[in-house]
Amino acid sequence: MTGAALGGIAVGLALSFILCVATSVIAVLTGSRATLPGLFTAAAGTENGALALEFQPNFVGIAVLIAVSVLVRVVMAVRSNHASPGPTGRN
């Protein structure tokens, strides 16, 4: 159970990082504001002639994403434990 929860945290953090990078890339490529509602907002621009990226995370949304990931992993672990046969070969 603890392993599933830790795995869920890792998956949630990785997913939020990937979404952060994707949102930032879209903002840079389009040159405008890119928003992932409830999670991130990124806007590309220039500052002193160099490319600049303004990134605004929503920490509540990220926490919800991680919590949902943990919940899914724990439920999957509990369901797989109930579905696996016992020592007698029966459920």
**Overall average pLDDT of the 34-55 stretch:** 90
Confidence band for 47, pLDDT divided at 50, 70 and 90: confident
* Contact between 9 and 69 (Cβ < 8 Å): yes
Residue type at 13? L
The mean of the pLDDT values for the chain is: 87
DSSP 1: -
In this prediction the pTM is 0.76
